[in-house]
Structure 1
């Protein structure tokens, strides 16, 4: 018998390319940080001075209010618009589609300017001066809410379409109405699907709120511009605004992560609602008293 063939020893190749690219990236990043840290024109003392300035903090609060309120309003509107787009009534579906087409098509800054100048079209509303009703904050809130609702309507519509039609039919087969089927089966599963894109939309909305500075909406960027308009420390104040936007986005990203875990902990519970309803219906039928048969005389 011949001698056994010696086994082949496999050796893992060392990732020299990854090491080299990592060292290069660290070197470039370190050089950039070093150059900025030693740059006297940046005036880091002013950055620290204005980081927690009362005007800056009030701008942070207004930015949060604009973003949160606009997101809540847009989600409520978007659910209605998404259901309209899915309606069997052609007229209702057409109205929903036109709404989405319009508010997604008009640039956000244009919408903000239109709302802020609404007094040109309607000097008074219900006997009240329009300029007193539509402030910079109000105009920004309306524009952000309506523009965002156009995008959210498509996200929610996609979430509704992702639910298997068989689950809707199963809900109807056990005696649920279409409204109950929507509330108990479709919407809970839709929420799981739309949370990641909704979180991304909120982060985008948080940054888009800076456009309100075009009409003096008292947001973070507006307060930053007011301060550097007086002391001419433009770059240090913009660094302050950048730092706060990064903080807000980071907090929103962490919140999105925990929401995703809360609503979809294992990523495989899409049919849980309908299974629970079907199981409960079977148990009710099994243990409910059967009707007595009428005895003929």
Structure 2
């Protein structure tokens, strides 16, 4: 070894300087260090202005005699209105469940290697996304014009306003949900499916055990948004007397001519339903998305990170 190379290597005296001796450990830190945040004056001012404008708006509407809030509160929990709320919830839930099942099949058809199935799936999405939902409601309600008799019974007796609305909402929504599910599937790299096949899984098993569990977190947020849209879209069946919330409200103000107060009843109930659905979506996203602070995996990871930090700093034993 040359003298130059030997001179670059640290001596034993120099290397001993980097070895931590017993008793040199830094003191254990029981509480985490928290950085002090600076006051956000612009945020505070904006919030105060927004609150002031909201108070002024509420105050102006509360004192507006034309709103007739007494009539609104009188009919808020009217049995007829509550029946309409129940029908609205049923329409939204059943239509969403049916559309998800149909959309899953259509998404698989589009992703299939079978060209015929792929074309049929794309044509399905093209048609039901292209035709307005209101037009589909009217078409299904007037199906008796094309087919007066179905399965030996009159079409008008088979397809009521509720049934026509349910069919139209389900088919129209399935066109959108098919693209959402397809987007969730293609968000998972194709190499993961190939890896599953390489260890002996069939492609269907790889889809069920590898792809779908990972795509759920991508599918849930837009699905929750679509369900909220479905709650509002149920009002379209009012044009065919679907017995939903808006239909019941229209029947009432058609008798007492209190149009604005009764419409406010519908507005408040739709806001309540949307708020409940949005809250459920929030907790569902936290449950399935590991990057959200409240998810189970995030809590587990955070606990593990705290354990590792305390072990490194304070010399505490590892915890399982």
| TM-score of Structure 1 vs Structure 2, range by shorter chain | 0.7 to 0.9
Provide closer, same or farther for how the CA distance between residues 254 and 20 of structure 1 changes in structure 2, counting only shifts above 3 A.
closer
Q: Does 1:114 align with 2:139?
A: yes
Q: TM-score, normalised by structure 2?
A: 0.77
Judged with a 3 Å threshold, the aligned counterparts in structure 2 of structure 1 residues 178 and 18 are, in CA distance, closer, same or farther, namely closer
Name whichever of 76-85 and 175-184 sits farther off: 175-184
Indicate whether 1:196 and 2:196 are aligned. no
CA distance change for structure 1 residues 16 and 163 in 2, over 3 Å: closer, same or farther? closer
SS at match of 2:178: helix
1:77 aligns with 102
In the alignment, what sits opposite 1:63? Answer: 88
> 1:121 deviation in Å?
0.4
RMSD over aligned CA atoms reads 1.8
Shift of 1:15: 5.7
**Max Rg structure:** 2
Which residue of structure 2 lines up, in the alignment, with residue 157 of structure 1?
182
Distance 2:42 2:218 in 1: 38
Which of 167, 172, 184 matches 1:147?
172
C-alpha deviation, 1:21, in angstroms: 3.7
Asked whether 1:48 is paired with 2:73, we answer: yes
Unaligned runs of at least 5 residues, structure 1: 1-11, 273-297
Structure-2 change in CA distance of 1:35 and 1:65 (3 Å): same
Look up the match of 1:206.
231
Shift of 1:266: 3.9
TM-superposed CA distance for 1:20, in Å, is 4.4
Mapping of residues 186-265 of structure 1, within 5 Å:
186-265=211-290
Partner of 2:195: 170
Q: 1:22 offset after TM fit, Å?
A: 3.5
* C-alpha distance in structure 2 between counterparts of 1:75 and 1:267, whole Å: 25
Deviation for aligned residue 1:86: 0.6
The Cα of 1:26 is off from its aligned counterpart by 2.7
Report how many residues are paired.
258
Runs of 5+ unmatched residues, structure 2: 1-36, 298-320
Between the aligned partners of 2:272 and 2:217, the Cα distance in structure 1 is 26
Which residue of 1 is the match for residue 56 of structure 2? 31
* Structure 1 residues 13 and 252: alpha-carbon distance in aligned structure 2, compared to 1, 3 A threshold: closer
Q: Which residue of 2 aligns with 1:91?
A: 116
Summarize deviations over 1:81-140 as a string: whole Å, max 9, x none. Answer: 001111111111110000000000000000000000000000010110000001000000
